[in-house]
Amino acid sequence: MAKSVTKDMTKGSPLRLILQFCIPLFFGMLFQQFYNMMDTVIVGKFLGVHALASVGSTGSINFMIIGFCMGVCNGFAIPAAQQFGAGDYHNLRKYVANSVWLTIAFAGVMTVSVCVFCRQILMWMNTPADIIEGAYDYIFVIFLGIPVIYLYNLLSGIIRSLGDSKSPLFFLILSSVLNIILDLVLILVFDMGVAGAAWATVIAQAVSGIACLIYMIMRFEILKISREEWRLDGRCVGVLCNMGIPMGLQYSITAIGSVILQTAVNGIGSMAVAAVAAGTKISMFFCCPFDAMGSTMATYAGQNVGAGELDRVSKGMKSTCLLGLGYSVAAAVVLGFFGGTIALLFVDAGQTEIIRHVTWLLWANVAFYFPLALVNIVRFTIQGLGFSKFAILAGVAEMAARCLVALAFVPVFGYIAVCFANPAAWIFADLFLIPAYMYVMKHLHRMGIQPVQQPDCAKLTKD
């Protein structure tokens, strides 16, 4: 068996370790957003504005369901990171094995449930009649792919929890290239419309998930799980659910606000839907560094709290916040000057109204990128420290802000209010998260936290 490729983040310069871990993770997320964006580009260019609006109208419900899957998997990886930091490989393998069983159960229940109610959900969201069929064709296929979404996110999360952020990058590059090729083949050659874009995404994710599985089997000696370790363990299941479900709910609760906001946008018309779809894709592409910083801090904080190194957590937090500030300024310059030009990737130059609306959305969002950076960095650090329940409250704050904008301001100010919905959500979340982080650190210092020894993480998850 090949040599293990784990990385211990409890020793050495925090900034250097964070950069080494974060940069491959950033490029992985960049490629993931790239092929997501290419879906939208290809749909908009080859199938037209109505098809673009069809895909865009599903964005919030997509985020609510798929975000839950990703959040659960990220939560399942935190006990693995803590046990790895503590050097307890037996319990590390037990957590990995039990997370596999839980993931199978979650994937099965969710796939059946959301596929059955898919059309009804779109109707509840007031999806415009001229795009609802395309929206259904797209999102139904995406929901059929929930099992492969769980597969990739669980395995890549476990790989990252062991300090390896480079390998998931290679699998995402493979997935990105395959997705773009399949987009063109299924849409242009087989004339499958928006459903072709969805199938391209699902197939590409399945390939990256299988690649992660093969890689883990071949390279990670410490993950050679015995028959006894494969057995369901009530304590491990409890800890995993205590970590994973709050993180999943945080995404879903946050997305409820996005769903309500999307419903308000749907009421403005399909042109507004198309503009929000394009603007959101561009913004998400430029937000990849913030996602990478957050995921890095989850692993970094998890390993260091497992090793009882709280001072290193604080140093890592400060370093990552400075990185976030620097990138926020750079992104503001790029999008401030070239946002309208980038919008031409999605629509023709003649669609001047959509381009103008996309530009407004980008300007409003990029002005508040540093609050977004703090949302990701602080929230994931808190989760890595073992207090994932705070993620739900942060999600509630974001949901409240988006609902307030959608229900109180969009009916009065129209599209311009939509542009400031996300910044409002980020600020609301920060107002909760920053005091929460200070509380968590004080609480852990009062506990005199020591390296994790117990088979469960109850010591780290209770408030």
Which position has the higher pLDDT, 460 or 223?
Answer: 223
Is the pLDDT confidence value at 134 over 90?
yes
Q: What pLDDT is attached to residue 453?
A: 44
Is the pLDDT confidence value at 3 over 90?
no
Q: What pLDDT is attached to residue 6?
A: 64
**What average pLDDT does range 416-432 have in this prediction?**
95
Is the pLDDT confidence value at 377 over 80?
yes
Q: What pLDDT is attached to residue 449?
A: 59
Q: What is the pLDDT of residues 191-207, one digit of tens each?
A: 999 999 999 999 999 99
Q: What is the pLDDT of residues 151-209, one digit of tens each?
A: 999 999 999 888 887 888 788 888 888 988 999 999 999 999 999 999 999 999 999 99
Which position has the higher pLDDT, 207 or 36?
Answer: 207
Does the reported pTM lie above 0.85?
no
Q: What's the mean pLDDT when you consider all of the chain?
A: 87
Is the pLDDT confidence value at 381 over 90?
yes
Q: What is the pLDDT of residues 316-334, one digit of tens each?
A: 999 999 999 999 999 999 9
Q: b/e per residue, 226-240, with b = 16+ CB within 10 A?
A: eeebeeebeebbebb
Q: Kindly indicate the confidence band of residue 1, based on its pLDDT and cuts at 50, 70 and 90.
A: very low
Q: What is the pLDDT of residues 79-113, one digit of tens each?
A: 988 898 888 899 999 999 999 999 999 999 999 99
Q: What pLDDT is attached to residue 320?
A: 95
Residue 413 identity:
F
Q: What is the 3-state secondary structure (H, E, C) of the chain?
A: CCCCCCCCCCCCCHHHHHHHHHHHHHHHHHHHHHHHHHHHHHHHHHHCHHHHHHHHCCHHHHHHHHHHHHHHHHHHHHHHHHHHHHCCHHHHHHHHHHHHHHHHHHHHHHHHHHHHCHHHHHHHCCCCCCCHHHHHHHHHHHHHCHHHHHHHHHHHHHHHHCCCCHHHHHHHHHHHHHHHHHHHHHHHHCCCHHHHHHHHHHHHHHHHHHHHHHHHHHHCHHHCCCCCCCCCCHHHHHHHHHHHHHHHHHHHHHHHHHHHHHHHHHHHCHHHHHHHHHHHHHHHHHCHHHHHHHHHHHHHHHHHHHCCCHHHHHHHHHHHHHHHHHHHHHHHHHHHHHHHHHHCCCCCCCCHHHHHHHHHHHHHHHCCHHHHHHHHHHHHHHHHCCCCHHHHHHHHHHHHHHHHHHHHHHHHHCHHHHHCHHHHHHHHHHHHHHHHHHHHHHHHHHHCCCCCCCCCCHHHHCC
The share of the chain scoring above pLDDT 90, in percent, equals 46
Q: What pLDDT is attached to residue 400?
A: 93
Q: Are 219 and 161 in contact (CB under 8 A)?
A: no
Is the pLDDT confidence value at 455 over 60?
no
Q: Kindly indicate the confidence band of residue 210, based on its pLDDT and cuts at 50, 70 and 90.
A: very high
Q: Kindly indicate the confidence band of residue 256, based on its pLDDT and cuts at 50, 70 and 90.
A: confident
Is the pLDDT confidence value at 237 over 60?
yes
Give the CA diameter of the chain.
Answer: 64
**What average pLDDT does range 2-21 have in this prediction?**
76
Which position has the higher pLDDT, 284 or 424?
Answer: 424
Q: What pLDDT is attached to residue 35?
A: 67
Identify the top-confidence range among 11-15, 48-52, 131-135, 383-387.
131-135
